Amino acid sequence: MKLKYKLEDVTDSFWDDAHLLGIMAPVKDYQFCRQINHCLRFDFRINHQIEIQVAKKQRSYFFSVFEYAELMRSVRHFLYNNQFDGEFLLPEFRHLDFLWLIKGELPSDGELGHLVETIRRVASVQLVTELTNEKIRNKEYLVL
């Protein structure tokens, strides 16, 4: 018996153990990661294997993805660059520069609140907001 999966099924199940934050910080992605790594003692690194390529207007756009895996918990953090050469990974959030996905063991409300407050203290950050997956039209771009 063959099992058939629809992209929507995979996409919906992906969000079962995920949180998404939107960040406005008008700096280069590597500068932002350096600031976050310093402030939170994280170790975000660019992962070229999961870079997102989107074809629009007869061109290809490449959106970098940085990754950090926590050592003591089964939590992985992904930081997506939402802009490349005038195009947006998620056009519905064109005011956001970065998307921060927390995947795995979900943080408690206190942990998430502490993370958001710490991100807000980074000098280049102008806005941090939690995004619900119902607001995202192109969810498949974030599914790894």
CATH of the domain at 70: 3.30.160
In a domain, 51, yes or no: yes
pTM of the model as a whole: 0.85
Long-range contacts, 107-112 (Cβ 8 Å, 24+): 107/19, 107/75, 112/19
pLDDT tens digits, one per residue of 22-81: 999 999 999 999 999 999 999 999 999 999 998 888 899 999 999 999 988 889 999 999
**Whether pLDDT at 83 is above 90:** yes
pLDDT at 11: 56
> Strand, coil or helix: what is 11?
helix
Percent of the chain at pLDDT > 90 equals 62
**Whether pLDDT at 130 is above 70:** yes
Q: How many domains does the chain have?
A: 1
In a domain, 49, yes or no: yes
Q: Alpha carbon 64 to chain centroid distance? A: 10
Domain of residue 31 covers: 15-130
> Strand, coil or helix: what is 116?
helix
Tokens found for residue 81: 């660059």
